[in-house]
Structure 1
């Protein structure tokens, strides 16, 4: 497998740093922290949090909105790029029979947490209050789970690939959940015509048409001219239009780049999820991802800073629902569905991987952090319930300790490579 270590290490360290600063700040001076998070950049603007004023809707652009709804679109765009390549390209990680067991295990890793979350909510008598947060514990943080997975299995263990497939498929499902179940306002689906029209237009004019005109000409003059003189600019403009269409449609605008990613010229084969080797490819999609790497790392620092600032006094039932959904529902769901896929369905496991390793993978995948925080911020309005749910997402770091212990108890053999 091509190395991904440098990318996720930097990504993780900056995100952790932002989260730690936020936790300390919120528990030392909560008022100044929340004033910072809700700082108003522009009032009565065309983007921002909607609110009714004088009988019509106006928007306020806050620092929180700028990070969570605008800049995080770049993070989800990179995630979408990895999913798209894994599905569409030759040797894509999510193509064919080899991906079926991890994909079915992913379904278990989502259904298990939902069942635990909603079941415990019903038992505790808080179902009506917290049911909207059912998707929070379905998340798997790709970077952190990968880091912990390396500690438990070693870089060369086949379970690492299994874990990465599960995590990327989990995030793909999470993007769909956000789009379908968590609208940001009253739905106005007609605005999606702007998003998908921008995607269709930029694909036809700047991707399909130049290639069509270059048929039979190995020099590819039209495609070369578009790439040399226009570069990423048509896709940036289309991305802005798509983002705005999502905002106006009432779908979370952080997902606004999803229709644009498949329209960008891409490589003809996959090198692996977040593979360093892709830095040396010349296709526009990988070029864009490479140049977004450092800006997105900074964005994720601010995401941690603006979202992880929860007072410890906020701990309550939603905290435990999210936490137990991740720590119990995720491993059990992954093990159960992974076993069904591997044996009753006869899809098998990667060579060198045991049934016990599936359970350990499920424990590692229980680290929800980034996406769990994001879903918590859209599932509940700001207040005690949201803060309590976020605390559960932060506490899911405990899955790292559980994973290391499980690896020792189940005698996982580390394979370095």
Structure 2
């Protein structure tokens, strides 16, 4: 039994509200909006936007409202995404393990390669000047907004259709690919990889001291006194401290600090199974990892509201070629890439499709996965410096909501048989 509407209500309606307010505000009074976004909270601080001296070294940092939300607080959002990816990979019944995940994983590759090819290919056709200006945004149309895509997928296929499960696997794998792309291709400053040793040390230390050691001391004792003490007394605090240290290591290393909690997620004690982010049964798991996710639920709702408010404020006059390139990558590249690679995996590679799925369903799944929104908006904010190109690319991410209508039409044209149970 899935709680899709509850999930969308919890994690997306406030995000949409923030985005709508931002769009209205930026088009009514752009000066006050941009002043609000870049409002300096603390100057000469140890975290924030870097200011460099003549030698290229960080002289001081300024913590702005935008940095606080995008670089600090959004780390909690990406930690939740990482939690789902981690469980899907590591657990015995994980959705991204075994043959059942093979075709979705290949289709995911197509759903990333297709948009990149369309985006860069069309940019090249527009001329070298346009290509140079927009090339760094190649990863924007690779994104899939998992919550909205899942909701639209259920509307198109019905809750019981195997394509919905296929779409969920694809979206989780897409999230994993997006996290890797952000870490490798979009540094936040000059790279200093030696600082990642600090993140690694924090992850190893908290795993050994708060996870492995209590279980080691409890060997042969069914009462598990040390593990119980660690859970009841220490709770999530060691992981919070380690997370702060890891986040700081990411900031100083030049890798986007919003990914700074990723090394800590695998160190937290987790259940031996996962029901999935839309499953009602997930709330009854008592392991610390799920407990932390439940604690973060309401804070992340507020964070996503401010993320929409601080990132979606784009003037409609900013619509230009990057807008259409992002949309083309999503609306053309995603469906074609998912269909082509999914067919290749199911047919020539012999991996097959889930029972009850047709090859043409892959195209409809690709249409649904073209809803980029949250992650596409985030990538646009890091791919380009503030200005016309970034604003135009963000508008493309916002317009990707149109993929929902296209998906419903595609489902009708391909005669999808809805299965509600």
The answer to whether residue 357 in structure 2 is matched with residue 353 in structure 1 is yes
Within 2, Cα distance between the matches of 1:275 and 1:89?
Answer: 16
Q: Which residue of structure 2 aligns with residue 238 of structure 1?
A: 242
The answer to whether residue 47 in structure 2 is matched with residue 43 in structure 1 is no
Contact 1:26 1:33 in 2 (8 A): yes
Within 1, Cα distance between the matches of 2:245 and 2:91?
Answer: 27
Q: Which residue of structure 2 aligns with residue 308 of structure 1?
A: 312
* TM-score, scaled to structure 2: 0.97
Within 2, Cα distance between the matches of 1:261 and 1:160?
Answer: 27
Q: Which residue of structure 2 aligns with residue 215 of structure 1?
A: 219
Q: Which residue of structure 1 aligns with residue 344 of structure 2?
A: 340
Q: CA deviation at 1:381?
A: 0.4
1:115-194 alignment runs, 5 A limit: 115-125=117-127, 126-194=130-198
C-alpha distance after superposition, 1:229-250 (max 9, x if no partner): 0000000000000000000000
C-alpha distance after superposition, 1:252-279 (max 9, x if no partner): 0000000000000000112124423111
- Aligned with 1:330 (options 334, 341, 355): 334
C-alpha distance after superposition, 1:291-314 (max 9, x if no partner): 111110111011011000000000
1:16-415 alignment runs, 5 A limit: 16-52=16-52, 56-125=58-127, 126-415=130-419
C-alpha distance after superposition, 1:317-375 (max 9, x if no partner): 11111010000000000000001111111111111111111110000000000000000
Coordinate RMSD, CA, aligned: 1.1
Within 2, Cα distance between the matches of 1:161 and 1:297?
Answer: 25
Give the 3 Å change call, closer, same or farther, for CA 349–9 of structure 1 in structure 2.
Answer: farther
Q: What 5-or-longer segments of structure 2 have no aligned partner?
A: none
Q: CA deviation at 1:4?
A: 4.1
Within 2, Cα distance between the matches of 1:186 and 1:53?
Answer: 13
* TM-score, scaled to structure 1: 0.98
The DSSP-based 3-state class of the residue aligned with 2:199 is helix
Contact 2:4 2:151 in 1 (8 A): no
Within 2, Cα distance between the matches of 1:332 and 1:194?
Answer: 42
Within 1, Cα distance between the matches of 2:2 and 2:88?
Answer: 14
Structure 1 residues 133-142 or 48-57, which shifts more? 48-57
Within 2, Cα distance between the matches of 1:304 and 1:147?
Answer: 19
- Count residues in correspondence: 417
Contact 2:145 2:375 in 1 (8 A): yes
Within 1, Cα distance between the matches of 2:154 and 2:190?
Answer: 43
Within 1, Cα distance between the matches of 2:353 and 2:3?
Answer: 23
Contact 1:82 1:274 in 2 (8 A): no
Within 2, Cα distance between the matches of 1:90 and 1:3?
Answer: 24
Within 2, Cα distance between the matches of 1:57 and 1:20?
Answer: 37
